Amino acid sequence: MTPRNQPMTARRVLVTGASGMLGAAVAQLLRKQGHHVRTFQRRASHGATDEVLGSLTDPQQIARAVEGMDAVIHLAAKVSFTGHWDDFVATNIEGTRRLLDAAQAAGVEDFVFVSSPSVAHFGQPLAGAAAGTADPAKARGNYARSKAAAELEALSRNNDRFRVAAIRPHVVWGPGDTQLVERVIERAAGGRLPLLDGGAALIDTTYIDNAADAIVRGLERMQQAQGLALVVTNGEPRPVGELIAGICRAGGAPAPKLSVPGWLARGAGAVIERAWLAAGARNLVQDEPPMTRFLAEQLSTAHWFDQRETRRVLDWRPGVTIDQGLAQLAAHYGGKAPLQAR
């Protein structure tokens, strides 16, 4: 972790979505630094001593969660490559609006909105790009569109009495990650993970410890970060095929060798996504289709970012390299049998 020049005065901080990998890491880091942490999520989180269970659709539960808090770090969201637009609106847009309203009414001083670089990724390659402006009309996929609208809403509330910053960690991964790591390993183990265009697209990613540290740093540096949207990555762009191979190696699965043209995967992904939704597949236990247009674009186009502004504003550097993160991932899976294909 990046050493702090001056530790932040202990505060009462609400963390939403703390049952997820990143939310849990943020809450743990805040506690380690001496802050009083309250969590807000739908299911109980391990080890929490002050938590409010509830949903972003319930204003009364939200009001209980923000009562007496100095700051909010908002991570809770519907995260999926596919799904019906109304579901994303209810949680990501309307839920964020309710939380902002409640936080302002409760006298919360600082609000960190955890966003995604996808809010400003419009399907074209991004090479050394700046953060860019969120645009719900151009963002790809319902998740990105809804997060773009929510980010704009959050930043529009920024003022001297209610400071708001948006932190956009990019492709967060690490031990215990079910969104990326375990899906990669499971699909690779079952021979269901082709590379697109040979896995040559250059992408930035963020190791979990670095993502949590940067988010907390955003709260610490709110005076400098307020009103801004900052992309956070490890700053080590690599070919997506190389990263996938490293994750597979750590988890004991064979790295994929089959390559599929990106244009073909993008077209097939659009068809699969429509059929998936039409069949009501969101009600299944495993509710992610094998491919969507958005996922195909992410795997076949470059997306890596200029980190100079982020590091200047946050006065921050990542503390764990990609190689160190892969070593920690291998240690996490060490001695275990590879995950079996499902």
Q: Which residues are catalytic?
A: 143
The number of angstroms, rounded, from the C-alpha of 179 to the middle of its chain's C-alpha atoms is: 10
Neighbouring C-beta atoms of residue 328, cutoff 10 Å: 16
* CA dist., res. 219 & res. 72, Å (int): 9
Is 277 buried (19+), middle (13-18) or exposed (0-12) by CB count in 10 A?
middle
- d(CA 59, CA 266) in angstroms, rounded, equals 39
Is residue 156 helix, strand or coil? helix
Tokens 């409760």 belong to: 106
Contacts for 156 with CB less than 8 Å, ≥ 6 apart: none
Helix H segments across the chain?
21-32, 59-66, 85-88, 94-105, 142-156, 181-189, 208-220, 222-225, 240-251, 262-278, 293-300, 308-314, 322-333
Tokens of 103: 């936080």
| Site of tokens 């990105």 | 144
Is the Cβ–Cβ distance between 201 and 273 less than 8 Å?
no
Q: Please, are residues 294 and 222 in contact by the beta-carbon 8 Å criterion?
A: no
Please give, one letter per residue, the 3-state secondary structure of 157-177: CCCCCCEEEEEEECCEECCCC
